[in-house]
Amino acid sequence: MLRPARLSRPFMPRLSQHIIQRSHFVFSLLLFAFFPFRPFPSPVFAATVAAVIDGDTVILLDGTRVRYAGVNTPERGQPFYEEAKRYNERLVLHKKVRLERHEPGRDAFGRVLAYVYAGNVSVNARLIAEGVGHLFVLGPFGHYREWLRLQKDAQRRHKGMWAAGGVPGPLFVTTVHADAEGDDRRNPNGEYVRICNVSGGPVALQGFRVEDAAGRRYVFPAGALDPGYTVLLLSGTGQDMTRRGQLLFYWGDGPVWNNHEDTASLFDPGGKLIDSFHVQGDVSE
C-alpha cells in the first residue's frame, strides 16, 4: 500500500506546529467533556459520601457509584427498604469514609465494589448485624463465616427484617431484571430473576417455583444453595450449572417478564407464597 509522504518535524513550519498542538489540546478538552474519564480507584482510598441511593449503594463526591460488597438490602418497594436506606444515611452520608475495593472491582452495572468503613465501623457488616441487610455472596469472599454469624445472630434476636411480618425465608428475591439489553426475543438470557438463600443453612431447591404475573411458572428441578449464595433464573435456554458457588437455571421459555411492569412470586415446595418482587422498569441489584 502506498502511503503519503510525511514531513519530519525539523522541516515543519512553526505556525503549523502551533496550530496542530492547539488543535490537539482543544480536541482533548472536547473529548473529556463528552466522555469524562474517571480513574479506577486504588485498592484502598478515602472519599466523602455525597448521596445515599439505598441501603447498599452510595455516590461519592466525585460521582463514583459504590456498591457495598457482601451485603444486600431490600430494593424500593420491598419491606425494610426505607429502614435500610435511613440506617445507611446515618452511618455515611456527608462523611469521609475509607473504602477497600473488592474484586473484580466493579459489578455488572459499572459500580465500584467495596468494603466501606466509617471510622472503625464496617458499614457492610453493621447492616447485616442490625438486620437491615443480608449476606450476599457473588464470588470469592473473605468475611463469609463472620458475616454469616452476624446474620444468624440478628435472626435469632428478630432484628429488622427478621422480625415478625418481615422476611420469612429461607429464600428471598433480590431482583428481577425484566428488560434485557436490545431485543428481548433475541436476548432472552438478558432477563433474569436472582434469589438468595437468607437462611442459616443450605436449602434444597427442588420444588420451589417462580411465577410471573401472567401465571407462567418455573419449578426448580434440583440443586442445593448455601447461605448467602444466589440462584440465577435466566429466561432463555442453556445448560443448568454452578458458577463460583452461584446456581444458574434456564427457564427455556423466554422472554418471560413484561418490560414495563411485572411481579415475580416465589413459592415453597408446599405451595406457600414466601416472597414476591414487583418491578417497574429496570432495577439495579
Whether 142 and 240 map to the same domain: the answer is no
Whether 199 and 241 map to the same domain: the answer is yes
What the block records as the C-alpha cell of 158 is 428478630
Cis amide leading into 255 (omega within 30):
yes
| Residue at which a domain ends, from 102, 137, 162 | 162
Residue 12 is assigned to a structural domain of this protein:
no
Q: Which pLDDT score, from 0 to 100, does residue 190 have?
A: 92
8-state DSSP, 9:
G
Residue 117 pLDDT > 60, yes or no?
Answer: yes
140: number of Cβ within 10 Å: 11
Give the C-alpha distances (Å, rounded to integers) separating 65 from 107, 158, 283. 11, 31, 15
pTM of the model: 0.82
Q: How would residue 28 be classed by pLDDT, with cut points 50, 70 and 90?
A: very low
Structural domain boundaries, residue 182: 171-280
| Residue at which a domain ends, from 162, 195, 210 | 162
Is 51 exposed, middle or buried (CB count within 10 Å of its CB: 0-12, 13-18, 19+)?
Answer: middle
For residue 175, the cross-strand partners are 194
Give the C-alpha distances (Å, rounded to integers) separating 254 from 30, 159, 173, 185, 214. 42, 38, 19, 7, 13
Q: How would residue 8 be classed by pLDDT, with cut points 50, 70 and 90?
A: very low
Q: Per-residue pLDDT tens for 201-226?
A: 999 999 999 999 999 999 999 999 99
Q: Per-residue pLDDT tens for 167-201?
A: 999 999 999 999 888 888 899 999 999 999 999 99
Residue 11 is assigned to a structural domain of this protein:
no
Residue appearing with cell numbers 461519592:
60
Give the chain's domain count.
2
